[in-house]
Structure 1
Amino acid sequence: IAPSVISRYLSGQNQPSRDNIITIGNYLDTHPQSLLSSSDAPESSESSRHIPSDKDKIIHVQDKLIQSLQKQNISQSHYINALFKELGEAKIEIKELEDWKATSKERHAKKRKK
């Protein structure tokens, strides 16, 4: 590619052909698409139009997932709290039964001695 041609590309007088873009990209060791601005690259601008909507969809789905996990966490917390409450009540009942059993043995032992 002649220097005068590159000068016209840089000044905006001419647009490089696809082959020249590939040649320049290879010479600069870069992807030819990176040489195009987003307004000059229809594929790039087309894909960039989809990114925000896809990004918004992903964010929306992630928000729903977070809300669902928070609800599950809350319901599991309530369930765990209820289990701990029942466990505490069961411990009290066991203690009462053990105390009753101990006093019962003492009463029976006293009756036998009489």
Structure 2
Amino acid sequence: MIIIWQGFGFLGLLIPFLMSLIAQLATDSIYEKGFYSGHPLISVAVLFISAAVVWLVGVKLNSGPSRLLVDPKTGQQFDFKKKHTMFWIPLQWFSTVVAALALLVAFK
């Protein structure tokens, strides 16, 4: 599988992965081994929380300042802005993919 991102778009996959890993290690160490995999609602909650985190990070990163350049010959203006995307989806909107994954896990 090919993963395509621009800027810090890779955080759209990294944040849910790391949050799920930390949640699994924490619940399995606090309770018994296999507790996280035995209780799928924990993973659903973690995925929804990570979707919110991805949304906030995406809004923060994609709301940065832009650079306005003017072509001296035509006078046409070009607005250049740094993009943070995952699979050509802006990072804040990629959080809906993470939330959809949470719903898929919930109704599986």
TM-score tier (shorter): under 0.3
TM-score (norm 1): 0.27
Pair member with larger Rg: 1
Structure holding more strand per residue: 2
- Of structures 1 and 2, the one scoring higher in RCO (CA 8 A, sep 6+) is 2
